[in-house]
Amino acid sequence: MAPNHPEGALAPAKSDELTASFSADRANRVARNAVTSMNVHPAARNVSALRTYRDTFGVSRPRTGKVTNQRHSGRCWMFSAYNVARAATMELLDVDDFEFSQVYGFFYDKLEKFNVGLEYVIETAGLPLDSREVSHLLEHTMGDGNYYPAAMNLIRKWGLVPKDVMPENACSKDADQMNAQLRRLFHKSAMELRRLAAAGAGTGELRAAKEGMVADCHRVLCVCLGEPPLTFDLEVPVGKNCSADAEKIVEQEGGDATDGKPRRLLVDRGITPLEFAERYVPFDPSDYVQLEHMPGETRPFGHVYHRRFADTMAGGVPLKFLNVEFEVLEDAAVASLRAGVPCEMACDVAQEFPRKIEDLPGILATDTMDYEGLFGVDFSMDRAEMLDARETRNTHAMTFQGVELGSDGRPVAWRIENSWGADACRNGYIIASADWYRLYGGEVVVRREFVPPEVLDLWDNAPVEEVAPWTNVGCALAPRH
């Protein structure tokens, strides 16, 4: 007697029928053999399409510096922001390369996150432990992810230092072990604050207790990353067109082995990180507009959003995101690049990206990975549907450095500086087709001058709507890791 199955249950007989018929199809056999021997991406790649993408761009910045490397950490947002900022320093110093210390920024980002996270714990101390708010804080506060404006807050408050003043080390190159200890310390501190609050402690008493907890975090960070410099001596070679203070430039005879001419050095001793940023980073960390493209009925264009618990610095400039049509975002990025100014971008880098393919690396396009042909299944979704289904969000921040425009003036492809080192992708760069970025790209941050007046008016004056992290909009705006 045939077994009875509840309504909606998977019937074994039906599955057996599908299994028996699978190998009768030649395409199924070829796909099975290819995927089981080499995995999905190599089997799905469309070589004919991949080899049509070349690193040639009509609008491209010639002086971009060496490709940076975030290693095994979630600091892409910081690397992207610093890659934008360093363009101004390279121009000022007349050099082809310069890099800020991301470890210095990492130190203070973690310290600020720990502090403001405990402020949120104090704010939510009266909520149940299993409330969404408290659960979110305990799970997400000490991650590596963040946003471009968070990097601007760090620059405004803590300044910058050259990379050799606080270089990469074991914990910055692979942050997992340090992060495990920071999360443990945060969880212990949060529970202690909640116990004090339950016993009747007021906000002042809780903040007094928090000071000792932040001091413990500072100690852990010093052990893992080293002490951040309070002052340092700046000595850096500069070009003949350096526009820094001439009194701080010295010449060293025989210092340049390439042409025998004296080497020019910028020397500024005993300066603070804030003084370095003020003198040698001619870049306004407040001069930006953050544009997002989140189509969908629940995400109307022209609205400005703030994601609750997204601010990672108490007293910093609050984060906000302006949702716009894609053409607005695209035009702003093109205007920035035409002016020779790089800009931050973010996208869902894992979508249709054969990262490990060695012969044709570093290409993001919608026609290079034939998943439908490989599996015989329709995977297609538009961007609004993917955001609704939580299939996509911005997972990686990088830097636009060039764009190819078609005969209609619209982008055809983008040249993107990554932060995975010069050996990754195409000598550290990625080529993204315009249609790929329209589907999987959702953010650019540009200077105000590259945004139309009506968009600036929204950015400056539209009411800011707060969204919870677990809502549809909040998930779409989740920080990249």
Parallel/antiparallel/unpaired status of strands 464-467 and 304-307: parallel
pLDDT tens string 310-348: 999 999 999 999 999 999 999 999 999 999 999 999 999
Q: Would residue 290 count as lying in a domain? A: yes
* Radius of gyration for the chain, computed over Cα atoms and rounded to the nearest angstrom: 25
Residue (of 414, 446, 411, 424) closest to 347 by Cα position: 414
Q: Is the CB of residue 150 less than 8 Å from the CB of residue 312?
A: yes
Q: Would residue 182 count as lying in a domain? A: yes
Q: Does residue 166 carry a pLDDT above 90?
A: yes
Element (H, E) at 138: helix 132-140
Distance of CA 281 to the CA centre of its chain: 21
Q: Would residue 138 count as lying in a domain? A: yes
**How many Å apart are CA 392 and CA 348, to the nearest integer?**
6
For every residue of 191-228, DSSP letters joined together read HHHHHHHHTT--HHHHHHHHHHHHHHHHHHHHHHH-PP
Distance of CA 71 to the CA centre of its chain: 13
**How many Å apart are CA 39 and CA 369, to the nearest integer?**
13
Q: Which residues contact 255 (CB under 8 A, 6 or more apart)?
A: 262, 263, 265
What SS3 class is residue 76? helix
Shared domain check, 266 and 397: no
Q: Does residue 256 carry a pLDDT above 80?
A: no
What SS3 class is residue 480? strand
Residue (of 362, 473, 420, 440) closest to 68 by Cα position: 420
pLDDT at 258: 58
Element (H, E) at 417: strand 411-417
- Joined together, the tokens standing for residue 145 give 């992810």
What residues form DSSP beta bridges with 465? 305
Q: Would residue 351 count as lying in a domain? A: yes
pLDDT band at 472 (very low <50, low <70, confident <90, very high): very high
Give the percent of the chain with pLDDT over 70. 98
Q: Would residue 27 count as lying in a domain? A: no
pLDDT tens string 11-68: 999 999 999 999 999 999 999 999 999 999 999 999 899 889 888 788 999 899 999 9
- Joined together, the tokens standing for residue 194 give 């909640």
Shared domain check, 83 and 56: no
**How many Å apart are CA 124 and CA 116, to the nearest integer?**
12
Q: Is the CB of residue 166 less than 8 Å from the CB of residue 101?
A: yes
Query: Could you give phi then psi for residue 444, rounded to 5 degrees?
Result: -140, 150
pLDDT band at 260 (very low <50, low <70, confident <90, very high): low
- Which residue type is seen at 370? D
Residue with tokens 């996208």: 347
pLDDT tens string 358-378: 778 899 999 999 999 999 999
Shared domain check, 258 and 317: no
Shared domain check, 296 and 440: yes
Shared domain check, 444 and 392: yes
Shared domain check, 347 and 327: yes
Query: Could you give phi then psi for residue 307, rounded to 5 degrees?
Result: -95, 120
Average pLDDT of 439-460? 97
- Joined together, the tokens standing for residue 260 give 């025998």
Shared domain check, 258 and 320: no
**How many Å apart are CA 414 and CA 334, to the nearest integer?**
10
Residue (of 78, 85, 80) closest to 67 by Cα position: 80
CB-count exposure of residue 255 (10 Å: 0-12, 13-18, 19+): middle
Q: Does residue 169 carry a pLDDT above 60?
A: yes
Q: Does residue 264 carry a pLDDT above 90?
A: yes
Give the percent of the chain with pLDDT over 90. 90
- The average confidence (pLDDT) of the chain is 95
Average pLDDT of 101-106? 98
For every residue of 271-339, DSSP letters joined together read E-HHHHHHHH----TT--EEEE---STTS-TT-EEEETT---STTSPPP-EEE--HHHHHHHHHHHHHT
Q: Does residue 93 carry a pLDDT above 70?
A: yes
Q: Would residue 28 count as lying in a domain? A: no
pLDDT at 480: 61
| Domains in the chain, number | 3
Q: Does residue 481 carry a pLDDT above 60?
A: no
Q: Does residue 268 carry a pLDDT above 80?
A: yes
Shared domain check, 198 and 256: no
Average pLDDT of 464-468? 98
Q: Is the CB of residue 429 less than 8 Å from the CB of residue 64?
A: no
User: Known catalytic residue: 76?
Assistant: yes
Q: Which listed residue (69, 76, 136, 242) is catalytic?
A: 76
Q: Would residue 9 count as lying in a domain? A: no
CB-count exposure of residue 207 (10 Å: 0-12, 13-18, 19+): middle
Shared domain check, 454 and 321: yes
pLDDT at 355: 80
pLDDT tens string 133-152: 999 999 999 999 999 999 99
- Domain span including residue 176: 76-225
337: domain CATH number is 3.90.70.10
Shared domain check, 120 and 196: yes
Shared domain check, 459 and 376: yes
Element (H, E) at 110: helix 102-123
Question: Contacts by 389-395 with C-beta closer than 8 Å and gap 24+?
Answer: 390/475, 392/348, 392/351, 392/440, 392/442, 393/348, 393/442, 393/475, 393/476, 393/477, 393/478, 394/346, 394/347, 394/348, 394/442, 394/443, 394/478, 394/480, 395/347, 395/348, 395/349, 395/350, 395/480, 395/481
Q: Does residue 2 carry a pLDDT above 60?
A: no
What SS3 class is residue 394? coil
Q: Does residue 413 carry a pLDDT above 80?
A: yes
Shared domain check, 464 and 339: yes
pLDDT at 360: 80
**Lowest mean per-residue pLDDT among 30-39, 51-60, 383-392, 410-419:** 51-60
Single residue among 250, 271, 292 that ends a domain in this structure: 271
Q: Which listed residue (136, 293, 303, 396) is catalytic?
A: 396
Parallel/antiparallel/unpaired status of strands 263-271 and 249-252: antiparallel
- Which residue type is seen at 404? E
Residue (of 476, 301, 299) closest to 389 by Cα position: 476
Q: Would residue 24 count as lying in a domain? A: no
